[in-house]
Amino acid sequence: MTTTQPGQEMAIDAEAQIDEIESAGPTWFQVIWSSKKARFGVVLLALYVLVAIFAPLIAPYAADDLSFNPVELSSPAHPLGTTTQGADILSQLIWGTRVSLIVGVFGGLFATAVALLIGLVSGYLEGTWVDDVLSFFTNVALVVPTLPLIITLMAYSEVRSIWFTILIIGIISWAGPARGKRAQIITLRNRDFVTAAKFAGDKTFTIIFREILPQMMSLVAAGFFGAATGAIGAEAGLSFLGLGNTESVSWGTMLYQAQLQGALAQGLWLWLLLPGLVLSGLIMALTLINFGIDLISNPHLREDA
């Protein structure tokens, strides 16, 4: 995971620079907050983050504690009931929040870092052999169908930690954002400030990551949230197929079990309904935040927000 470090440093750096540049206008947070949709998304996401952080305090039991009476409907001890294997549904939901957020944050970071590195270098060196090679890999990765490839790779592994899932998802999903960043940098690299930096004798890497990258932070942020959303969805899908990580219970695992055990036939409809609902809520929060980020990069959209 060493590849994420340069990206992170840059991000902090770039934020400072963007603040400087936009000190006259509204800050990025004001722009996001000004949109009702995005504001709702930020609040919703904050809720999920709180639940994930305080999971040990909120959750009544451990997610893999199977010691309760199976198939119990709502009761004071188990407000949402228990599964056919005797796990507490509420606790599984709460702990599952952690899994999804970890997958989202790290899957998103990983994919964004790879996308940045490949997209920016290839775009800046457009027309050279470096660009040809990088673009070729990007295009191959782009056309290879994501889910079948992830599933194939997962099928070869016996024990799967959450980090393995993140790694596989990250490796597969950098290509789209990389292409976007390549296109963006091509429009930026002939601007005056880049020429100035070149004449000042800056190295290519310095120009790309210190001069140009800060100009496209909103695109990077949007890419991150997009990748995080994709990673969360992919993890849920994999777990639903029974190919997710084998060490912790996620919302996808819950749905997999719920279908396998015929949750509805036993009256456990909350078991089937809730994991999908909280998953959709999280994905909606991220999507709404991305609307807000779009407002930063495209001021034309702001008027009707």
Q: Which residues are near another protein by CB under 8 A?
A: 136, 139-140, 143-145, 147-149, 151-156, 158, 233, 236-237, 240-243, 255, 258-259, 264-265, 269, 272-273, 275-276, 279-281, 283-284, 287, 304
Alpha helices in 144-268 (DSSP H): 146-155, 162-172, 175-188, 192-199, 204-206, 217-240, 251-260
Min dist CB 201 to another protein, Å, is: 33
Min dist CB 187 to another protein, Å, is: 14
Min dist CB 305 to another protein, Å, is: 11
The token pair that represents 235 in the structure block: 């993890």
Nearer to another protein, 18 or 241 (CB): 241
Nearer to another protein, 117 or 172 (CB): 172
DSSP classification of residue 241: T
Nearer to another protein, 51 or 254 (CB): 254
- Cα–Cα distances in angstroms (integers) from residue 61 to residues 19, 57, 58, 90, 95, in the given order: 44, 10, 9, 9, 10
What are residue 82's DSSP bridge partners?
A: 88
Nearer to another protein, 7 or 41 (CB): 41
The CA distance from 96 to 59, in Å, is 11
Nearer to another protein, 213 or 232 (CB): 232
The CA distance from 253 to 244, in Å, is 7
Nearer to another protein, 160 or 210 (CB): 160
The CA distance from 154 to 74, in Å, is 36
Min dist CB 281 to another protein, Å, is: 8
Min dist CB 92 to another protein, Å, is: 16
The token pair that represents 146 in the structure block: 């994501």
Nearer to another protein, 197 or 274 (CB): 274
Min dist CB 258 to another protein, Å, is: 8
Three-state SS annotation for 288-304:
HHHHHHHHHHCHHHHHH
DSSP state string for 95-139: HHHHHHHHHHHHHHHHHHHHHHHHHHHHHHTTTSHHHHHHHHHHH
- Cα–Cα distances in angstroms (integers) from residue 272 to residues 35, 87, 127, 217, 304, in the given order: 33, 14, 52, 39, 38
The closest alpha carbon to 26, from 16, 34, 37, belongs to: 34
Min dist CB 143 to another protein, Å, is: 5
Min dist CB 278 to another protein, Å, is: 11
Nearer to another protein, 4 or 287 (CB): 287
